[in-house]
Amino acid sequence: MPATPRYPRIWEWPGKQHIAISINLALEAFQRRSQWGGQSRTANEKDYFSLSYGEYGAKSGGWRLLDMLDELGMHGSMSTNGFAAELYPNVVRAFADQGCEIVGHGWANDELNRDDDPDRELAEIRRCTQALKEASNTQPLGWTSPGSAGSKNTLTFLRGEGYIWNGDDASDDLPFLRDTAKGPMVMMPRTNIPHNDLIMWVQTKNPPSILFDNFKETFDQLYAEGTAGRPKWTEITLHCHIAGRPTLVPTIRKCLEYAKRHENVWFPLKRDIARWALKREGKA
């Protein structure tokens, strides 16, 4: 490492930890198709096989991930569609009761908001928030839009509804604050693309081992930077209907066990990171 750090931001974690690792979970529901399709259909037709692929998370995959988290003594932040909370409130409540953070994720995962329809977006945020509160008996503080595709209005709306962090960004290794008309919003960049089950397994058809290879390389680099006085953050993204399949769970367990073997590693919920960022910037 260079004697003089070139990274422009001065940062530290609670307890002077070298690195923060968060577990980014997702429980998603879809109106027309999930990320895995059957035969080609028009955009407005339902793909019933594809929808069944998405249902796996609530029926089977989510429970397997909960077992793994219990086994490892860990908790995650679960991006949850309002539609998923309406369909599967028992699953949402089980994750909340386990200690996971419930995170807003739009109403349905194949529905995106637009810049030119702010009334519709605000109504959706409120509808989703209410569904999550009813299912989990908790107040969501974080929000990541489906596909991380928020509109120009998203941050202001979220801050006005009591949210403190948003994940629709990919511009840094650390959280940062962005001003809105309603107050500061903590941006939690997507640092997880090389260890995201959707991107690295389903979409690219890689073997499961690529997830561990990518996670280890990322962890080792950032851990070395943190040891040298430049702490960073990264995460692993696990969709219940993807990572919850028996094919991936052994590799995911291997990733998390690898990180746990190291000293000075913080495993926070994302709301904990956001609160820390607000405190560091004097905005808490």
β-pair partners for 27? 80
Tokens of 197: 């089950």
Q: What is the pLDDT of residue 66?
A: 98
E strands, the chain, where? 19-27, 77-80, 101-104, 142-143, 165-166, 176-180, 183-187, 232-239, 265-266
SS3 annotation, 188-238: CCCCCHHHEHHHHHHCCCCCCHHHHHHHHHHHHHHHHHHHCCCCEEEEEEE
Q: What mean pLDDT is predicted for residues 43-58?
A: 81
Q: Which band of pLDDT confidence, cut at 50, 70 and 90, is reported for residue 44?
A: confident
Tokens of 251: 């590799």
Is the model's pLDDT at 283 over the cut of 70?
A: no
β-pair partners for 103? 79
Could you give the percent of the chain with pLDDT greater than 90? 71
pLDDT in tens, 251-268: 999 999 999 999 999 999
Provide the 8-state DSSP code for 58. I
Tokens of 129: 């928030």
Q: Nearest to residue 38, comparing CAs of 54, 58, 59?
A: 54
Rounded Cα gap, residues 142 and 176, in angstroms: 14
**pTM (two decimals):** 0.91
Residue 240 and residue 57 in contact, taking contact as beta carbons nearer than 8 Å = yes
Q: What is the pLDDT of residue 77?
A: 98
Rounded Cα gap, residues 20 and 222, in angstroms: 9
Q: What is the pLDDT of residue 192?
A: 76
**Amino acid, single-letter form, for residue 216:** K
Residue 94 and residue 70 in contact, taking contact as beta carbons nearer than 8 Å = no
Q: Domain 14-280 falls in which CATH fold? A: TIM Barrel (3.20.20)
Q: What mean pLDDT is predicted for residues 196-221?
A: 85
Q: What is the pLDDT of residue 76?
A: 98
pLDDT in tens, 170-200: 999 999 999 999 999 999 998 878 778 776 7
DSSP H/E element including 90: helix 89-98
Rounded Cα gap, residues 212 and 75, in angstroms: 19
Tokens of 22: 């968060």
Q: Nearest to residue 164, comparing CAs of 174, 155, 152?
A: 155
Q: Nearest to residue 169, comparing CAs of 183, 182, 158?
A: 158
Is the model's pLDDT at 31 over the cut of 90?
A: no
